Structure 1
């Protein structure tokens, strides 16, 4: 099995055949046009794939089998992941990838068609203002934050009151700050809004991440600029994935006890 897998990755033609069939059935003439190879070169590869039960033929057309679809999808994902890492290699080198949940890293190929937008200015205020603008324009907001500011809290509070769905994760030390003024009053004002969820985790969070329906903000760890990868077609997938992590990763939702204005963790 290992030899078969290696043979596929070593052969450009085998890979091209599988990837093209992953988009739909093809005739031999179509495979010739797509790969730029002759029938004499393609036919032995097709026979090998048939012998491995990855493709089948019907009325002179080639189809992927169920197993073939799995293999072809895996190849497609691995290539897209490589292309994405290579396309944005300078971006990844300046960011703390270890802070991104592993399920999201596995889907990093979704970012290939996006673009990196960076502030030219070096002032931290540029980052801050752009993040506030990003929150103001969003229709959905998911976030992981290791710090809290009054301006950030005001922006979140305003969007919650406008009915925007917002889910945030903070480390426990930030939850402690939220028990103090002015944050505890701001949170108390949101107690009846079902579109707002705030969760706490015990682990130290080294990365800040904001995901909206339009953009992803992932500040650099080496200098204070805002970086976003923006494309609605993929951001929805990452938004949903982050939402899944929020709801299923064992995080404890913060419960506001308003009669004593404190924050406690709900037991798992």
Structure 2
């Protein structure tokens, strides 16, 4: 039974996807065909195999998870997400330094669903992607960690704040020093803005640069050598936004507020 159950779940991608689909609730044959984009005939065998293992049942023409099936699917989802994430962009992820990410979020890194690796052309190396900027402009709030200095971000964030966007920024010491040197006027404008809250991150571990809003998650992870190779990850899925927000809050707890300037 144990061996058969393991084979049923892990030896078939289609069976796994059926279990994960049914986590959202019962589905009739038409809904399942639409979800998978296949003929009903191709689903008959995997459904039969899942029923034989008592992982799903058919009630009044609707397929749904059994109690055991639901428990298995709920625990399988994070692992399946990790396999999908790393399998799609193995070359990228195998070279990332993820040491500064807390374990509970590493365990859920598969929540970065529908993510895309953004690698700019040489001539656009220092320009934010158009899709990124467009999403940022349409955001109600922006939570960021600046561990990489980007000269275009201070004026962009000040402009967003002037239009009413609520912004919180965590700065590493090196980025803050660089802004003092190169963007003093923009930094002072940030410190005077009622819509911008600044924090200083002083922990030894270097966090990735991240941006999380109500419609966007973006991250610049360092490689295993501690270098930034200009490859960023971007996602718009709800699970990615929740994951990114938790990561921001983790770094915020390790940071001190920078007092707002008066006058």
TM range (shorter): 0.5 to 0.7
Query: How big is the shift at 1:35?
Result: 3.6
Distance 1:22 1:244, change over 3 A: closer
SS of equivalent residue, structure 2 residue 208: coil
Following superposition of structure 1 onto structure 2, how do residues 92-131 of structure 1 map, counting pairs within 5 Å? Answer: 92-121=93-122, 126-130=124-128
Greater C-alpha radius of gyration: 1
Structure 1 residues not aligned, in runs of 5+: 262-268
State the Cα RMSD in Å.
4.4
Query: How big is the shift at 1:218?
Result: 1.8
**Which 4+ stretches in 1 moved above 6 angstroms?**
1-5
Which residue is equivalent to 1:226?
230
SS of equivalent residue, structure 1 residue 189: helix
Query: How big is the shift at 1:85?
Result: 0.8
Distance 1:209 1:9, change over 3 A: same
CA distance in 2, matches of 1:149, 1:229: 16
TM-score (norm 1): 0.66
SS of equivalent residue, structure 1 residue 159: helix
Which residue is equivalent to 2:41?
33
Query: How big is the shift at 1:11?
Result: 4.9
Which residue is equivalent to 2:257?
254
Distance 1:186 1:203, change over 3 A: same
SS of equivalent residue, structure 2 residue 241: helix
CA distance in 2, matches of 1:198, 1:226: 25
Query: How big is the shift at 1:82?
Result: 0.8
Query: How big is the shift at 1:181?
Result: 6.1
- Contact 2:57/2:64 (8 A) holds in 1: yes
CA distance in 2, matches of 1:38, 1:211: 39
- Contact 1:21/1:64 (8 A) holds in 2: yes
Structure 2 residues not aligned, in runs of 5+: 34-39
